[in-house]
Structure formats: structure tokens, C-alpha cells
Amino acid sequence: MNPLDRPYAPAVYLCQVREGVSCGACCGLYNQADLSPESLEARLAGRTAAFARVPRTVEAIDAFGRAAEGWTPATRPFADFHHCPFLGLAGAGGKQVGCLLHPEAPGNGGVDWRGLSYYGGMACRTYFCPATRHLPPAWLAAVGQSMEHWYLHGLIVTERCLLEAFFQEIEGRIGRPVRESDFAPGSPAAALLRAFAALKIDWPHRRADAPGPCNYFFENGAYPRPEVLGWGPDRPASRFAAIFRELDSAFASPADLRAAEARLEELFRRIAAALVPGCGVPEVVIVAPG
Ligand code: SF4
Ligand code: SF4
């Protein structure tokens, strides 16, 4: 989407960041059964190629939308979250996610066909997700600078509460607000932010009935994230409780919880050390000779 055709734009525009880094999460990109990067990319590439052959008429575009895959609610993690069949690959060389109906998309000749979408053209032009509207600009810039591929970018960018917990933890450790420059492209901190985001893909403590990496981020209460599941009747207490909840966690035992905490602790220790030399390095305890 082009920020210039929207009446409101957030301080940091994360829908289309740079070549290879963009997002289509609010168009339902991840609300599909097989979410591996390879299969998602292959699906988008196939759609883009097929749409290139579609005559730009209302009837032909409607027919394409009806025929495109991704329409079966039963196969989606969130049955009531529409997956738009007009998501494809955009930009030079088709290296990032984009809208096939956008006026700047190849073949559209400047005509905006988004009025034919499920949500309608106005929603497509004006919607911004809660994370991009509410998180501080420095945090959003840090995310945009750190990402190297649309797949991970779109998975993390909508995670308002997860990102809030992440950046608050860092700021608590370094004793100051995060700055945009802390996560310069190619920096160690940027790599560690990607490692954190990748927990959405390979988190070993995700509860069995979780919907997977797809995030339902619309604030209408339709699919609230449940609290962390523990091994007993009580909710397991942890300083990382918010992060564990946002990762849809369940822990089978205290040892399971400790392993998850240790993984996060190490990640945050390394980020703090990358941002503030000496920060995050364990203090040396000098034991006096007895
Ligand atoms: S989910 Fe947010 S960042 Fe992604 S395309 Fe939609 S508004 Fe942009
Ligand atoms: S038509 Fe609207 S919902 Fe579909 S991909 Fe384009 S912007 Fe997203």
C-alpha cells in the first residue's frame, strides 16, 4: 500500500519498508493453513503470475478472486478473519508482499481496483493496525530497520503487546528509552531483534491448540489470547509472563518454564550488552577466602 493515498499515516510506515520487506498481515496474509515461508511465497508468486493474465474488468477480477485459493474458513487459523485473494508479490522483481489491486501494481495502469476487495477500497486505503498506531516511533523504526524479509516482518509487526513487552524489558535493562539508532541495519542488536521475532515461528513452548504464528490483532475481542497454561491449577509466575502469553505458551513442568526463561534471559542479556557496553554482563562475585 502507498502511504500517500491514505488520509492518516503513522509516524513510521511499516507496510512497505524497502525491497524485500513489507507486510500484508491485515489483508489476512498469514491466515492460512500451511504457513511455511516457502509455501506462502510460492502461493503468492502463483497468484501474481495468474493475475497478470486477468483482463482488468470488474467481472474478470471478481472471477479471479472467487477462484483464488484461501477462501475456505475451515482451513484458516481464524475462521472469521478474511484472507484476501488479491495479495501477491510486488515491487521490482516481486520480492515483497503487496496488493495486486493497487493502482501502482503492474497492469493496473494507475486504476485503483481495491473497491472490489472484501473490505472495500476505503478500508484498504485507510486501515492501520494497532501496533503501528500505538507503539512509540523509535520502537517501530527499530523493527523496520531490523527486518530483512517480508515473512518475518509481517509476523512480528502486528504484535503490539509482544513488542511492548520486548522493548520495555530492554529499556528496563539499559536504563533509558530505546533509540532508533540502537537497531541500525546490520547491527548486532538488529540481528537479536530478528532472533526474538523468530520465536513466533519456532517457539517450542507453544500450546497444542494455538493457532500458530498467525496473529489476530484486531481489537474487537473476537479471538483473545488465553493466559499461559501451566502444569497445575495456578498460572505459572514469571517475569516474562507477558511475552509467554503473547507467544501462546504452555509449560508442562517447572523445568520447562525455567528453560523458556533461560532462553529469553540470554537473548535480553545479549541485547543489553550490545546496546550498552558492560550492561547485561554478569557481575563477578568475589568470594573472600574463608
Ligand atoms: S498489518 Fe499493519 S503494518 Fe501490516 S500492512 Fe496492515 S497496517 Fe501495514
Ligand atoms: S485488496 Fe485490500 S485487503 Fe486485498 S490485498 Fe489489497 S489492500 Fe489488502
Q: Is 187 exposed, middle or buried (0-12, 13-18, 19+ CB in 10 A)?
A: middle
69 or 86: which leads in pLDDT: 86
Q: How many A from CA of 27 to the centre of ligand 2? A: 6
Q: How many A from CA of 111 to the centre of ligand 2? A: 14
Query: Tens of pLDDT along 120-146?
Result: 999 999 999 999 999 999 999 999 999
The conformation of residue 70, written as its DSSP 8-state character, comes to -
- Model confidence at 70, in pLDDT bands (50, 70, 90)? low
Q: How many A from CA of 86 to the centre of ligand 2? A: 6
Q: What residue's CA is closest to ligand 1, atom 4?
A: 23
Query: Tens of pLDDT along 142-188?
Result: 999 999 999 999 999 999 999 999 999 999 999 999 999 999 999 99
Q: Ligand 2 pocket check: which of 31, 40, 100, 101 to mutate, most ligand atoms within 8 Å of Cβ?
A: 101
Give, in order, the Cα–Cα distances in Å from 158 to each of 16, 35, 106, 210, 217: 14, 16, 27, 17, 7
Start-end of H helices in 95-159: 121-126, 130-134, 137-146, 150-157
Q: Which three cell numbers stand for residue 205?
A: 513452548
Q: How many A from CA of 60 to the centre of ligand 2? A: 17
Q: Which three cell numbers stand for residue 66?
A: 472467487
Task: Give the mean pLDDT of 37-50.
Answer: 94
For residue 132 and ligand 1, the question of a CB distance below 6 A is answered with yes
End-to-end CA distance of the chain: 68
> What count of Cα atoms within 13 Å lies in the side-chain half-sphere of residue 171?
14
Q: Which ligand is nearest to the CA of 68?
A: 2
Q: What residue's CA is closest to ligand 2, atom 8?
A: 27
Please say whether the beta carbons of 105 and 99 come within 8 A.
yes
**Structure pTM?**
0.92
Q: How many A from CA of 119 to the centre of ligand 2? A: 8
The conformation of residue 226, written as its DSSP 8-state character, comes to P
- Model confidence at 277, in pLDDT bands (50, 70, 90)? confident
Q: Is 255 exposed, middle or buried (0-12, 13-18, 19+ CB in 10 A)?
A: exposed
